[in-house]
A = this chain, B = another copy of it.
Amino acid sequence: MELYCGNIVYSKSKNELVEYSNAYIAVENGVVEGIYETLPEKYKRLPCKDFGEDVIIPAFTDLHVHAPQYPQRSLAMDEVLVDWLDKYTFPLEAKYKDVEFAKAVYDSFINEIIAQGTMHAVVFGTIHNEATGYLIDQLEKKGISSYVGKVNMDMNSPDYLCESTESSIRDTEKFIDKYINNKYSKPILTPRFAPTCSDTLLEGLGKIAKKYKVGIQTHIEESIWESNEALKQHSNSNCDMEIYEKAGLLDNGPVIAAHFIFPKEKDIDILKRYNGYAVQCPDATVNVIAGIMQTGVLMDKDVNLGLGSDISAGYDLCIHTQIAQAVQLSKIKSFYEPENRKISFAEAFYMGTKGSGKLFGNVGSFEQGYSFDALVISGVSDEFEELSPIQKIERFCGLGNKSNIRARFMRGQEI
């Protein structure tokens, strides 16, 4: 049993943040046993680590991140998407053929994702098995709850970053087979998006999904171009989600739909039917100007929503800034498209913690039985104005950085 004292903030429901001042959190075998405003008699002789005025919050979940794009973060953000892909992103991803390059990047990526307070993630690799294997191995070693995918792309891609349909399917099965029994970092199918994947490829992946019981991450209705191109290439379907449903890719494990900016009603129906997650990546979708997710509308339809850093379309690996940006973008969205409502800070915080964490089980909150994956936030107060614990966290999301994370706990262990 471990005891911690301090301010505590977490999401109880999608629009309710709970705060405690100078309370105690008891952790047993890495799991929250309870929160106490007054310490119960039975715990009074236990040592207690006191975080004073600092605030203990759940660690973040990043539902959409391209690990190989880490070297390119915050660069060329004034380009348009097609130039950004052709001049920077695709040539960079091609470099992961070189596993030594991959090792250097992925070691830094993993250190940084932990530094930024993210302990659960859904991660794109590249088309390369060996490099992506190194990535999943290291995430497993560090104990980061994650899904990691070897990317598939057999058409509509540059020559130097395009697979044959057969090798794409074969390599994917090898990858899934090798890592299917991982404990923390599990493999997931990762067709890049519908425009770069043939029907034959998707059918092949569907068979793997069924055989190994694995889920899928991909980009869904992410831009007007993508939506249209997907239907041109897959003319039997009427929306992005239907393409994957027809390929048998949705009923074998988690379904993570990145972006989901222009969903048709049918996309929403299908996503909900399979209990999938739609992932907003606030900075990213503006930087490549795909559009802005209708977060308020989707939340009111009870779609599972999470946040993604989506480097390197996003600036950096932090989720706390994306919580602030999710609120900001909901205001722009409602300004230009008034049928959309703004979302609250509590709703955005839920998207970055409990709402997305549930993909990984009891993660992202501090209710009894939740994994004590936690951050201690400090250094956001002034001496001339007292802030409530929730205000401290709101300020951290607005202007803080990783240096405000004073301590990190994963499954109860300080790391």
Residues in chain A within 8 A of chain B (CB atoms)? 70-78, 80, 101, 104-105, 108, 283, 286-287, 289, 291-292, 315-316, 324, 327-328, 331-332, 334-336, 342-345, 348, 382-385, 387, 391, 394-395, 397-399, 401, 403
B residues in contact with A324, CB < 8 Å: 74, 77, 315
Judge whether B331 and A286 touch: CB under 8 Å: yes
Interface of A is mostly: helix
Contact in complex: B335, A74 (CB < 8 Å)? no
What residues of chain B lie closer than 8 Å to A342, measured between beta carbons? 78, 80, 289
Do the beta carbons of B286 and A398 come within 8 Å of each other?
Answer: no
Q: What is the CA–CA distance of A76 and B334 in the complex, to the nearest angstrom?
A: 18
Closest B residue to A70 using CB positions: B382
Q: Which of B108, B292, B385, B397 contacts A74 (CB 8 A)?
A: B397
Determine how many copies of this chain the complex contains.
Answer: 2
Q: Given A315-B324, A331-B286, A403-B403, are A75 and B395 neighbors across the interface (CB < 8 Å)?
A: yes
B399 touches A316 (CB 8 A): yes
Q: Which residues of B contact A391 (CB under 8 A)?
A: 75
Residues of B within 8 A of A105 (CB): 382, 384
By the criterion CB–CB under 8 Å, are B383 and A104 in contact?
A: yes
Cα distance, A80 to B330, chains bound together (Å): 12
Docked-complex contact B332 and A289, CB < 8 angstroms: yes
Q: Which residues of chain B are within 8 angstroms of A292 by Cβ–Cβ distance? A: 332
Contacts of A104 in B (CB 8 A): 383-384
Contact call B399/A73, Cβ cutoff below 8 A: yes
Which among A70, A332, A345, A391 has the highest number of chain B CB atoms within 10 Å? A332
Among A101, A291, A345, A385, which residue has the most Cβ atoms of chain B within 10 A? A385
Closest chain B residue, CB of each to CB of A100: B384
User: What residue of chain B has the Cβ atom nearest to residue A402's Cβ?
Assistant: B401
Contact of A398 among B108, B315, B384 (CB under 8 A): B315
Q: Is the CB of B71 within 8 A of A385?
A: yes
Among B75, B334, B395, point to the contact of A73 (Cβ < 8 A).
Answer: B395
Report A107 CB to chain B, min CB distance, Å: 9
Starting from the known contacts A286-B331, A287-B331, 11 additional A-B residue pairs (CB-CB under 8 Å) come to A71-B382, A75-B398, A77-B398, A78-B344, A289-B342, A291-B335, A315-B324, A332-B332, A336-B336, A401-B401, A401-B403
Is B345 a contact of A77 with CB atoms below 8 Å?
yes
The list of the 10 closest CB pairs from A to B, nearest first, reads: A74-B398, A316-B399, A289-B331, A315-B398, A71-B385, A74-B395, A104-B384, A401-B401, A78-B345, A74-B399
9 contacts across the A-B interface (CB closer than 8 A): A71-B382, A73-B399, A75-B391, A77-B345, A78-B344, A283-B328, A315-B399, A316-B398, A332-B332
Which residues of B lie under 8 Å from residue A336 when comparing CB positions?
Answer: 336
CA of A287 to CA of B344, assembled, Å: 12
| Chain B residue contacts of A328, Cβ below 8 A | 77, 283, 286-287
When the two chains form their complex, are residues B394 and A75 in contact, meaning their CB atoms are under 8 A apart?
yes
Closest chain-B Cβ to A388's Cβ sits at a distance in Å of 10
A70 → chain B closest CB, angstroms: 8
Q: Which residues of B contact A327 (CB under 8 A)?
A: 77-78
Chain B residues with Cβ under 8 A from A72's Cβ?
Answer: 385
| B-chain residues with CB within 8 Å of residue A108 when the two chains form the complex | 382-384
- Docked-complex contact A289 and B101, CB < 8 angstroms: no
